[in-house]
Amino acid sequence: MLDKGNRFRPAGVGVILGVVGVVFGDIGTSPLYAVQTVFSIGGGAVAPTAGDVFGIVSLIFWSITLIVSVKYVVFVMRADNDGEGGVMALAAFLGGQLGGIGRRGVALILGLGILGAALFFGDSIITPAISVLSAVEGLEVASLGLSHLVLPVTAVVLTLLFAMQRRGTERIGNLFGPVMTVWFVSIGAAGVAGIVPYPGVLWALSPTYAVAFVVDRPSTAFVAMGAVVLAITGAEALYADMGHFGRNPIRRAWFVIVFPALTLNYLAQGALILHDPGTRENPFFLLLPAWARLPMVLLATAATVIASQAVISGAFSVSRQALGLGLLPRLRIRQTSGREYGQIYIPGVNWLLFAAVLIVVLTFGSSARLATAYGVAVTGTFLITTTMFLVVARTRWHWATWQCVLVGLVLGGLELSYFAANLTKVTHGGWLTLLIAAVVFTVMVTWRRGHQIVSSRRAKLEGPLPDFIGEMRAAHLKRVPGLAVFPHADKATTPLALRLNVAHNHVRHERIVIISSLTAPVPHVPWDRRLSVDQLRDPNDGIVYVAARFGFHDDTDLPEVVRRVAGTGPETDFDPDAASYFVSRLALRRTRAPGLAGWRKQLFLVLWRNGATQPEFFHLPDDRTVILSTEVRL
């Protein structure tokens, strides 16, 4: 449970700028719409009175303090999986460490991880849509004649954002960091300017106002909490992005830059509404003098583009983690940094997200309508993360029972209140995130189950490897010069490509290497602990088995495995650059065999056909790879 890769990474200015540019964009742009949404719910249920304004500002401040500062930044970021964060990384760690909880317990933990990841994907679609829309809608404040440009400009901005992803997180962070720094300085300065005339608003930092608001107007407070949660969206993305930059830079950026700027701006918006109730229609932009509104629209648009980066980067990380855990088909993954494993680009995920975001923008049409869809996924993920964190705290950190109960009651109780409040919005748009999460969850569990069935039926065709080696020896097959490498799941059964090659060509290669790519429940496995070589009982038959353990963030580069193994012993005395790679391609045919419902079989087949091929996934050279095909019934 140690962040070996980046735990002690120095938090220099460059790293801090990168963190500000990628990690805090989502939560950093919440002032654009959070307060406005609170005062627009229920036809004015929250009034611009001192009690309500102080209560709302206090709720926002203490929500940020408890959920983001205390839960995520102080506690949950300690629960990393070898440096990686996010609900899937946490589930992978727990599933691999809690051997005493049995198969059902591991399945429950993995199920929570899948559900959390599915909800996070829902958030990854809503966040870019609502963030960019809310910023571009500032055009309406600057000039009513520009309102017809909101949707077209939003579509163009989103297109440019997703097109930039191929440049990689590091380059984007270097580009976005200075912009976001200007953003936080600007909203902090606007906050100071808004507080100075009305310093009494600082009393809203007291938790007594939040408590009084909840006690005096419980039904209004309950509804308001469904909108207050908008101020803490992005906290889970902060955790999921931890592998990109490390724990310490994120903490420093939060407490030194982000948290103070957010607090000042929310206080100022509260003061403005209290003294000019008409400004509650758009307090963020009306907080500024008229001359500064159009420039702020431009800066806010840039900031919300960057805000979307946090969840997009998080979606890439979660996708790769899910892939490593066998929950998604092989994806084409591009490493965008030579220094950091966590900085990746997944074209398929990127363009699927883009299509979904664009559809959502055009369907809902405004940030106010989208706000009703926001919150369910975020709060659901909060609860799942808190649950798994408490398991870690109890089993790995050996917290006392009273400590777990206290944290569970304070944080879990607050998050449960937010979740319950957002459930009231399901019929008004909240169904969207639940639908997205249901689709992602179905895809993951269907792929996992379908892959288990295919692997089981494939194993019957393969037959035991020791028996096949004995058959080759008994047949006195001719040995042809060269090295043949066969990627395969394990050493218990025979690679289908090896069996088919012998059956059709009646020869075998002088040197045969069978390589299994195994996924460990950690992000990275160093090379000195990654490989193990087995001579399979006979050191003289020229056949060796190599088990290569990859972390779920490591590239499954089999030619590199062959290069690392070459020359390590007499049985591996071969030229790795002359190796030929033999892979089997399964042609799946749908049948009425039990195992999956008909529609799930069809879904699995679509996923199977659109995944990356073995040569792509294993980085095999095109000019030295032979593909042999066989049919398997699903």
Helix H or strand E segment including 21: helix 13-22
Residues with Cβ < 8 Å from 179, sequence gap 6 or more?
Answer: 21, 299, 302, 303, 306
What's the CA gap between 90 and 80, in Å, rounded?
Answer: 7
- The Cα 380–Cα 121 span in angstroms is 12
> Measured between alpha carbons, how far is 429 from 411 in angstroms, rounded to an integer?
26
Q: Which two tokens stand for residue 487?
A: 């990627």
User: Cα 413 to the chain's mean position, in Å?
Assistant: 25
Share of the chain above pLDDT 70, in %: 87
Residue with the larger pLDDT of the pair 33 and 275: 275
Sign of CA dihedral 383, 384, 389, 392: positive
- Position 1 confidence tier, pLDDT thresholds 50, 70, 90: very low
Average pLDDT along the chain: 82
Long-range CB pairs of 329-334, under 8 A, 24+ apart, other chains included: 329/447, 329/607, 329/608, 329/610, 329/611, 329/612, 330/611, 330/612, 330/613, 330/614, 330/616, 330/617, 331/611, 331/612, 332/612, 332/616, 333/555, 334/166
Burial of 332 (0-12, 13-18, 19+ CB in 10 A): middle
Please say whether the beta carbons of 251 and 77 come within 8 A: yes
Sign of the four-CA dihedral 451, 457, 461, 462: positive
Which has the higher per-residue pLDDT, 403 or 297? 403
The per-residue pLDDT for 169 is: 56
Q: How big is the CA angle at 333 (ends 77 and 578), to the nearest 5 degrees?
A: 125
Most confident of 18-27, 182-191, 480-489, 593-602: 182-191
Decide if pLDDT at 3 tops 50.
no
- Give the right CATH number for 13-334+374-429 from 3.40.47.10, 1.20.1740.10, 1.10.287.130, 1.20.1250.20: 1.20.1740.10
* pLDDT at residue 2 in the model: 32
Residue pair 317/342 in contact by the 8 Å Cβ criterion: yes
DSSP type of residue 205: G
Question: Alpha-carbon distance 162 to 165, whole Å?
Answer: 5
With 0-12 CB in 10 A as exposed, 13-18 as middle and 19+ as buried, what is 108? middle
Computed from CA positions of residues 391, 392, 397, 402, in that sequence, does the dihedral angle turn out positive or negative? negative
Q: What is the pLDDT of residue 204?
A: 93
The residue assigned the tokens 């009513």 is 144
Q: pLDDT digits over 333-376, tens only?
A: 766 654 455 566 777 888 888 898 888 888 887 777 777 677 77
Of 197-206, 285-294, 486-495, which one has max mean pLDDT? 197-206
Does this model's pTM top 0.75?
Answer: no
pLDDT of residue 5: 40
Q: What is the DSSP letter of 68?
A: I
CA 136 to chain centre: 26
At 132 the three-state DSSP class reads: helix
Task: Tell me the pairing of strands 625-633 and 580-589.
Answer: parallel
What are the backbone dihedrals phi and psi of residue 629, each rounded to the nearest 5 degrees, phi first?
Answer: -110, 150
Closest CA to 5 of 244, 321, 173: 244
Closest alpha carbon to 514 in 534, 537, 500:
534
Provide the pLDDT for residue 552: 64
- Over residues 223-268, the pLDDT tens digits come to 888 888 889 887 777 787 776 677 788 888 899 899 999 999 999 9
Range with top average pLDDT, 29-43, 80-94, 308-322, 493-507? 493-507
Residue-range domain boundaries for the chain: 13-334+374-429, 456-633
Sign of CA dihedral 300, 301, 303, 307: positive
Q: For residue 431, which amino acid is it?
A: W
For 407-459, what is each residue's pLDDT tens digit? 999 999 999 998 888 888 777 777 887 888 888 889 888 988 888 888 888 88
* Separation of alpha carbons 290 and 537, rounded Å: 81
Q: What is the pLDDT of residues 491-535, one digit of tens each?
A: 888 888 888 888 888 888 888 899 998 877 666 788 888 888 888
Distance CA 586, CA 590 (A): 12
